[in-house]
Amino acid sequence: MVTIKSEREIELMRAAGKAAAACLTDMIKLVKVGVRPIEIDRACHEWTVSRGYVPAPLGYHGFPSNLCISVNDVVCHGIPSKDAPAFKDGDIVNLDVTPIVDGFHGDTNATVIVGRGKPETERLVKTTLESMWRGIAKVKPGAALGDIGHAIQTFAETEGYSVVVEYCGHGIGRGFHEDPQVSHVGQPGKGMKLREGMTLTIEPMINLGKRHVYEEDDGWTVRTKDGSLSAQFEHTVLVTKTGVEVLTLREGETNPLI
Q: What is the pLDDT along the chain (258 residues), one digit of tens a residue?
A: 899 999 999 999 999 999 999 999 999 999 999 999 999 999 999 999 999 999 999 999 999 999 999 999 999 999 999 999 999 999 999 999 999 999 999 999 999 999 999 999 999 999 999 999 999 999 999 999 999 999 999 999 999 999 999 999 999 999 999 999 999 999 999 999 999 999 999 999 999 999 999 999 999 999 999 999 999 999 999 999 999 999 999 998 987 766
Could you tell me if residue 98 is inside a domain?
yes
Can you tell me the distance from the alpha carbon of 243 to that of 238, in angstroms, rounded to the nearest whole number?
9
pLDDT at site 254: 84
CATH number at residue 124: 3.90.230.10
Count of domains for the chain: 1
Could you tell me if residue 254 is inside a domain?
no
pLDDT at site 257: 67
Alpha-carbon dihedral of residues 225, 170, 127, 229, nearest 10 degrees? -20
Could you tell me if residue 207 is inside a domain?
yes
Could you tell me if residue 74 is inside a domain?
yes
Could you tell me if residue 121 is inside a domain?
yes
Can you tell me the distance from the alpha carbon of 92 to that of 110, in angstroms, rounded to the nearest whole number?
10
Instruction: Tell me the chain's radius of gyration from C-alpha atoms.
Output: 17
Q: Which domain holds residue 202?
A: 7-246
pLDDT at site 255: 79
Q: What is the pTM of this model?
A: 0.97
CB atoms within 10 A of CB 81: 15
Could you tell me if residue 61 is inside a domain?
yes
Work out the angle at residue 167's Cα, subtended by the Cα atoms of residues 162 and 168, and round it to the nearest 5 degrees. 95
Can you tell me the distance from the alpha carbon of 136 to that of 170, in angstroms, rounded to the nearest whole number?
13
Could you tell me if residue 108 is inside a domain?
yes
Diameter over CA atoms, the chain: 48
- Which residues fall within 8 angstroms of residue 38, CB to CB, at 6 or more apart? 80, 81, 82, 84
* Strand ranges inside the chain, DSSP E: 54-55, 68-71, 74-76, 92-97, 99-101, 104-105, 108-113, 162-163, 169-171, 178-182, 199-202, 205-207, 213-215, 222-224, 230-232, 235-239, 244-246
pLDDT at site 92: 98
Could you tell me if residue 257 is inside a domain?
no
DSSP state of 243: S
- Which residues fall within 8 angstroms of residue 129, CB to CB, at 6 or more apart? 111, 233
Can you tell me the distance from the alpha carbon of 57 to that of 46, in angstroms, rounded to the nearest whole number?
14
pLDDT at site 178: 97
Give me the amino acid identity at 24.
L
